[in-house]
Structure 1
Amino acid sequence: MLNKRKGLVWNSEPSLLGCLPQRASVQHIKQSHAHVVVWGHNGGVTGHLLSLLSLSSVVPFPLKYSLSLFKSLPFPTVFAFNSLIRCHARANSKPSFSLSLYSSMRLRFLNPNQHTFTFLLHACTKNPNPNTNPGVQIHAHVIKFGYSCHVFVRNALIHLYCNSSSVPSAQRVFQEDTLCADVVTWNSMLAGAVRHRHIRLAENMFDEMPERDVVSWSTMIMGYVQNGLLQDGFQCFRAMRDKGVRPNEAILVTLLSVSAQLGLLFYGRFVHSTIEVLRFPMTVHIRTALVDMYAKCGCIGNARILFDGMLKKDVWTWNVMICGLASHDHVKEALELFQRFIDEGFRPMNVTFVGVLNACSRAGLVGAGKHYFKLMVDGYGIQPEMEHYGCMVDLLARAGLVNDAVQLIEEMTVAPDPVMWATLLDACKLHGYMEMGEKIGKKLIELDPTHDGHYVQLAGIYAKARKWEDVVRIRELMNERIASKVAGWSLIEVQSRVHRFVAGDRVHECSSDIYKMLETIGLKMTEAGLLTEIF
């Protein structure tokens, strides 16, 4: 084609736009823009380039470039304004920029369309404060221009109100016209209810949904997990499988993580079998979650087999395996794996050294622990955190180096937590540092006077020193200060069923048998001379 200099018009729009994909890269857009500049201005092409740029997922978003494209338009259309508003929304900029564009568009007597409001409301979600959110004013304009029944606009409104902690407002929008809704509408309401812990509302909505997709199931499962209703979450997963819905990676990794944290091996194996039956792609994230689950559920052999079978591993995979081996007292293997980790070119992180120092602590390797602690600080520039100090204090305390442990605590760059002092207190009791133990026990009670364990530990110190009057005094003090303590609870999995126990309750159907067994165990321990203290 000839250019304008030779007397012919450059018709660049079909040729340029025809060769650009819908998700064109910024580089391709800039190349097309260069053609427009060289061969003569074409507002239609520039507007479309701006639209393509608004779809770009590049990070950071080229907001300045989008502004320059827009400013090159002598008479920007609603289409161009919408594209720039969308650019601002994607760039995570303040909603005020998008609102000023909307105001400028109205001053030019251009009427907004449904896309204008969709992009504007998306921009307003960047301000989660419901009291100052301009989205309420945009809602008024939605009604004024007659777009309140447009499904995309309604979805954006529901998302806006849920994001700004105004679930009742979202419900009102939803209930205005329940027929004007798609699966995205229902999912937005479901996600809002779950995010704000209205789990029963979410359950009712989930039951009423005319159509569910994998996002619906995923949201419901996540809601159960986040609210501590773990068994309900797994039952929902089972129902999802019964309906023939294929789970996504997020669901599988979440359920494996829950199984790992609570030691629910049966559920973890069920998720693993589901992955195998569906021939789900074994990504690094899923394999790492499986390794973590088996390690934390006590099946360290299964975890190691999975780990060794992985052709590709990331730093988290190595960390999970090192920490798993350390927690199972496979100290030599953990340290050897750490060396392999270094040899393969990975750079250790904070959690890597938690596993390594934990391994040294469990094996009583004082010299090795000091070496790795120094390597962490001097070799890799990692500042010690509470977990690292905790491992070192435990290591020194177990070895009887109580004074060294105290010195380390005094030199810490962060304030020691009560757990660290409690670890030291146990060491004082074990190694006979009664005077130091008494001081630490009193300090612990000052730090947290509502924790009954601190009173028990200090009473144990007094009992070992045969200071029976002090034992009685501490016991009375504990009874005075801890009048209404929230009962602790624990979970245990037996024969594919999760049992929940609360301290001191008799709600469980087998409670009478359980207490009889506890009495039998107590008698046998007494006969063996193991119960020598009051607490």
Structure 2
Amino acid sequence: MFVNKIKSLLPTQQHISNSQQLLTTLFPSLPSRPSLYQIKQTHAHVVVSGHHARFIRHILSLLSLSSLVPFPLRYSISIFDSIAFPTVFAFNSIIRCHAKANSSPARSLALYSSMRRRFLKPNEHTFNFVLHACSKKTNNGKNNDSGVQIHGHVIKLGYACHVFVRNALIHFYSECSSVDSSKRVFEEDILCSDVVTWNSMLTGLVRNGEVRVAEKMFDEMSERDVVSWSTMIMGYVQNGILEDGLECFREMRERGLRPNEAIFVTVLSASAHLGLLGYGKFIHSTIESLRFPVTVPIGTALVDMYAKCGCIEEAKVLFDGMLKKDVWTWNVMICGLASHDRANEALVLFQKFVSDGFCPVNVTFVGVLYACSRAGLVSEGRHYFTLMVDGYGIQPEIEHYGCMVDLLARAGLIDEAFHLIDMMTVAPDPVMWATLLDACKVHGLVEMGEKIGNKLIQLDPTHDGHYVQLAGIYAKARKWEDVFSVRRLMAERVTNKVAGWSLIEVQGGVHRFAAGDTDRECSPEIYKMLETIGLRTLEAELLTETS
């Protein structure tokens, strides 16, 4: 989500138009937007004409166009190989072709070396394309060492002050998780920078988890574009600072900027995660007011937001109204129905999903098994768990096992659930054992509950909930000495209990409240109101008892 494409590396419409205009000028019969077949016809005409030297300009134009639009790499190579004495322009074009192809970034470096051996001097565009290739992943990781060597060539040949090259260097070091190197390049000459330079630096910082440093840099920027705002919003959200991400989006809208698809998807995801329906509706209304196209990712994010915020009917209306859906759209709807205890609808939707030709993935079966778990459909759950493994070859993950353990435990099949945990191909997490412990309490299985409770305490001795669960099992069996022993053990081991917190929306703002929080200006009024509510609740209970 954080990839900030350097403008000099992108096939801008102006670049494409220039190459197409040159070709149509040289060949009037060629349309303004030629297809690959038409380009090949033109190429054939140049070769068959017998005046290859005269038409070298045509060949170079073809090669340049092939580096900007989706041409097969093999065809681009054939054009380059037909040039007896390639120029720097020709080398730049073919290097760019290889840099774009994720399978062959190393070839870009080999071509750069070949160009140097021919005593051709690189220009700023050469370094842009080569550094872009170095930032791509290879089988052995990224070409970090090669990129550092290219940096040395940049300095030696006097291109360190070119803003496009500086941007490429910052992007390269950020992609290679060397943010300190990015900072050094950035700080060498801050005046020699543009908005892309700042955006590249922002991207590296937020990817490295330095959101507050990025925030300070963002505030210092004299010019911001949509990419700047998008980087900060996604930085906040993907680093868990969801409320700040939503506030950043609101500030962006107040400044009159038009969000892009990535921003809408990100803030809808944050609203869904926090359960902030009001904020989600505000984002939805923004999409409608801007007449922004509801693409598959945006439609999917809207369905997910409404489902997670408790509005399953609105989610269904949006889902049914989407003309195009992908696997993830179906997944969020199936999971949404399951979380709203509409298991039968979720399972029917799954069957329609399969009949429409979609292939389930691991998340699909999480929703299906969760639906079975919530509805207590034991035989159906077993069927779909087997279908997932044997029918689709999907290996169970911790979420699938968790749904099955919950399903079996709710049905009182504790032994089967315990056996499933023993047979798991992945290590069980404490949540799974806690689920089984709750079932032991419900069904009065003190001995097994004691065994599981002690195991949970060993796994995480600082989690107070495990002690409370085990004490509850002892209390139900009237084993008061054991209750006292567990409570005393909890008091000795659990020293730092995490304070509970909640979020509310008030007048369009998001407010976080933590247990024991007294930092707000209106804290006295809040606690006074809580005291009033407590007294009225107590009075109501007393009136109920006397009547």
TM category, shorter: 0.7 to 0.9
The aligned amino acid for 1:256 is L
Could you report, residue by residue, the CA deviation over 1:306-338 in whole angstroms, capped at 9, with x for unpaired residues?
A: 222223332222221221111111233323333
1:196 aligns to 2:196 (yes or no): no
1:450–1:31 distance in 2 versus 1, CA, 3 Å: farther
Paired residues for 1:107-122 under 5 Å: 107-122=117-132
Partner residue in 2 for 1:384:
396
1:39 deviation in Å?
4.4
Structure 1 residue 49 corresponds to structure 2 residue 62: yes
| Displacement of 1:295 | 0.8
The answer for the alignment partner of 2:9 in structure 1 is none
For 1:330-409, what aligned pairs fall within 5 Å after superposition? 330-409=342-421
* 1:269, distance to aligned residue in structure 2 (A): 0.9
Task: Confirm or deny: 8 A CA contact 2:24 2:31 kept in the other structure.
Answer: no
Count residues in correspondence: 515
Instruction: State how 1:475-490 maps to structure 2 within 5 Å.
Output: 475-484=487-496, 487=499, 489-490=501-502
14 and 361 in structure 1: CA distance in 2 versus 1, 3 angstrom threshold: closer
The 1:371–1:94 alpha-carbon spacing in structure 2 relative to 1, beyond 3 Å, is closer
- Equivalent position to 1:84, from 87, 94, 109: 94
1:229 pairs with 2:241: yes
Deviations 1:85-135 (A, max 9, x none): 222322235765434433332232211111112112222223798995333
Distance apart, 1:197 and its partner CA? 2.9
Q: Give, in angstroms, the shift of residue 247 of structure 1.
A: 0.8
Q: Does 1:435 align with 2:447?
A: yes
Name the residue aligned to 1:512: 527
> What CA distance in whole angstroms lies between the structure 2 residues aligned with 1:154 and 1:19?
41
Q: Distance in 2 between matches of 1:342 and 1:126?
A: 36
Partner Cα separation in structure 2 for residue 94 and residue 479 of structure 1: 60
Secondary structure, aligned partner of 2:145: coil
For the residues of structure 1 that align with 2:540 and 2:145, how far apart are their CA atoms?
65
- Report Cα offsets for 1:508-529 as digits up to 9, x if no partner: 5266347647966996999899
Residues 480 and 19 (structure 1), Cα distance of their counterparts in 2 relative to 1, 3 Å cut: farther
CA contact (8 A) 2:135 2:143 kept: no
User: Partners of 1:246 and 1:305 in 2: how far apart?
Assistant: 26
1:422 aligns with 2:470: no
Question: Secondary structure of the residue that 1:329 maps to in structure 2?
Answer: coil
Distance in 1, Cα, partners of 2:433 & 2:303: 33
Describe the shift of the 1:425–1:204 C-alpha distance in structure 2 as closer, same or farther (beyond 3 A). closer
Classify the secondary structure of the residue corresponding to 1:498.
strand
Identity of aligned residues (%): 69
Gaps in structure 1 of 5+ consecutive residues? 1-12, 530-535
- TM-score, length basis structure 2: 0.83
Matches within 5 A, 1:212-291: 212-291=224-303
Contact 1:491–1:500 (8 Å) recurs in 2: yes
CA distance in structure 1 between the aligned counterparts of 2:49 and 2:537, rounded to whole angstroms:
93
For the aligned residue pairs, the C-alpha RMSD in angstroms reads 3.4
**Aligned equivalents of 1:429, 1:120: Cα separation in 2:** 64
Partner residue, 1:123: 133
For residues 383 and 142 of structure 2, the distance between their equivalents in structure 1, rounded to whole angstroms, comes to 53
Aligned to 1:298: 310
Using the TM superposition, give the Cα deviation of residue 360 of structure 1 relative to its aligned residue in structure 2, in angstroms. Answer: 2.0
Cα 1:311–1:136 change in 2 (3 A) is closer
Amino acid at match of 1:512: Y
Identify if the C-alpha distance between structure 1 residues 110 and 309 changes in structure 2 by more than 3 Å, giving closer, same or farther: closer
Task: Indicate how the Cα distance of structure 1 residues 514 and 110 shifts in structure 2: closer, same or farther if over 3 A, else same.
Answer: same
Structure-2 change in CA distance of 1:20 and 1:442 (3 Å): farther
On the 8 A contact 1:23/1:55 being kept in 2, the answer is no
Deviation at 1:489, TM superposition (A): 4.1
**Is the contact between residue 26 and residue 56 of structure 1 (CA under 8 Å) also seen in structure 2?**
no
Mapped pair 1:326 → 2:341 = no
Q: 1:94·1:127 contact (CA, 8 Å) conserved in 2?
A: no
Q: Which letter maps to 1:409? A: I
User: Distance between the aligned counterparts of 1:462 and 1:133, measured in 2?
Assistant: 62
Between 1:71-80 and 1:324-333, the stretch displaced more is 71-80
- Bigger CA drift: 390-399 or 330-339? 330-339
Higher relative contact order, chain-length normalized (CA < 8 Å, sep 6+)? 2
Deviations 1:460-499 (A, max 9, x none): 2222222222223223333333334554544344554433
Q: Which residue of 2 aligns with 1:533?
A: none
Alpha-carbon spacing, 1:82–1:309, altered in 2? closer, same or farther (3 Å): closer
SS of the residue corresponding to residue 511 of structure 2 reads strand
Structure 1 contact 94–126 (Cα < 8 Å) conserved = no
Task: Tell me if the contact between 1:322 and 1:334 (Cα under 8 Å) persists in the aligned partners.
Answer: yes
Cα deviation for residue 289 of structure 1 reads: 1.0
Partner deviation per Cα, 1:251-274 (whole Å, 9 max, x = no partner): 011100110011011111110110
Judged with a 3 Å threshold, the aligned counterparts in structure 2 of structure 1 residues 246 and 15 are, in CA distance, closer, same or farther, namely: closer
Q: State the Cα distance separating 1:394 from its structure 2 match.
A: 1.2
Rate the CA distance shift 1:76–1:309 in 2: closer, same or farther, 3 A: closer
SS in 2 for 1:382: coil
Q: How far does residue 23 in structure 1 lie from its aligned partner after superposition? A: 8.0
Question: Residue 499 of structure 1 aligns to a residue in which SS?
Answer: strand
Q: In terms of mean alpha carbon deviation, does 25-34 or 74-83 score higher?
A: 25-34
Q: Distance in 2 between matches of 1:118 and 1:53?
A: 17
Q: Give, in whole Å, the separation in 2 of the partners of 1:409 and 1:339.
A: 28
Among 101, 116, 119, the alignment partner of 2:111 is 101
Residue segments in structure 2 that go unaligned for 5+ positions in a row: 1-22
